[in-house]
């Protein structure tokens, strides 16, 4: 994903040794061409996995998930963080702690949209401590759905989430893995074939 790496290098802003701001192209303003290619890459990596649906979380996971769903020709289901007047009955829920916002949210999906017949691809924009992905995996488990893998646009390799998910047996495919944000510099990790391509 050279296009993604270059975008991060050119437009990513390091706010601290643990926080990278990419709201100019990923999670506030969205670069449609980039996200289209992100979706294509996820689809390529999971094309032989028998994906029936993509599961993500609002709001930043929706754009890459929809593009992957477009290329895989499968529906996209997103877990809601906020209560809704129309989403009140037969919900599957999980609690997710956000280190960035320093708050816990209850995420929910209607039972109507996940079943034991589903083989899910979980997609999110960032992977740091892994709480969102674990919450989505918990919802999948409660629905009886299988999880074929987890697709991440940007992983902070220096935080524990990725290793935690892999230790639990999940296949994690991250398109860009950041090794460090120290001294205001973005450095990328050299990845294995299973985790992505050479990006440095």
- Taking only the tens place, the pLDDT of each residue in 117-144 is 999 999 999 999 999 999 999 999 999 9
Q: What is the pLDDT of residue 85?
A: 59
User: Does residue 17 have a pLDDT over 70?
Assistant: yes
Whether 15 is covered by a domain: the verdict is no
- Taking only the tens place, the pLDDT of each residue in 80-116 is 987 665 666 789 999 998 777 778 889 999 999 999 9
Q: How many domains does the chain have?
A: 1
Q: What is the CATH number of the domain that holds 125?
A: 3.40.50.2020
Beta strand spans in the chain (E): 13-16, 19-21, 53-57, 76-79, 91-98, 103-110, 119-127, 146-156, 172-180, 187-188
Sheet containing 76-79: give its strands across.
76-79, 53-57, 119-127, 146-156, 172-180, 187-188
User: Does residue 193 have a pLDDT over 60?
Assistant: no
Output the known binding site for xanthine. 20, 27, 156
pTM more than 0.75 = yes
- Taking only the tens place, the pLDDT of each residue in 147-185 is 999 999 999 999 999 999 999 999 999 999 999 999 999
User: Does residue 192 have a pLDDT over 50?
Assistant: no
Output the known binding site for 5-phospho-alpha-D-ribose 1-diphosphate. 128-132
Whether 4 is covered by a domain: the verdict is no
Whether 73 is covered by a domain: the verdict is yes
Whether 184 is covered by a domain: the verdict is no
Domain assignment of residue 51, given as a range = 36-82+89-177
Whether 30 is covered by a domain: the verdict is no
CA distance 200 to 193: 14
User: Does residue 194 have a pLDDT over 60?
Assistant: no
Selected residue with higher pLDDT from 1 and 49: 49
Whether 200 is covered by a domain: the verdict is no
Output the known binding site. 20, 27, 128-132, 156
């Amino acid at each position: 994903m050279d296009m993604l790496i270059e975008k991060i290098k050119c437009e990513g802003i390091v706010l601290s040794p643990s926080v990278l701001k990419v709201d100019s192209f990923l999670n506030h303003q969205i670069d449609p061409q980039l996200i289209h290619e992100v979706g294509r890459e996820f689809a390529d990596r999971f094309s032989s996995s028998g994906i029936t649906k993509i599961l993500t979380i609002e709001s930043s996971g929706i754009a890459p998930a929809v593009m992957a769903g477009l290329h895989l020709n499968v529906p996209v289901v997103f877990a809601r963080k906020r209560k809704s007047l129309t989403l009140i009955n037969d919900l599957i829920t999980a609690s997710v702690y956000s280190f960035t916002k320093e708050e816990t949210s209850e995420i929910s999906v209607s039972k109507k949209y996940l079943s034991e017949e589903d083989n899910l691809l979980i997609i999110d924009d960032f992977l740091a401590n892994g709480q969102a992905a674990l919450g989505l995996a918990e919802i999948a488990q409660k629905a009886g759905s299988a999880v074929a893998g987890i697709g991440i646009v940007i992983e902070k390799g220096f935080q524990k989430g990725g290793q935690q998910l892999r230790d639990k047996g999940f296949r994690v495919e991250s398109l860009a893995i950041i090794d460090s944000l120290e001294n205001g510099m973005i450095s990328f990790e050299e990845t294995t074939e299973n985790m992505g391509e050479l990006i440095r």
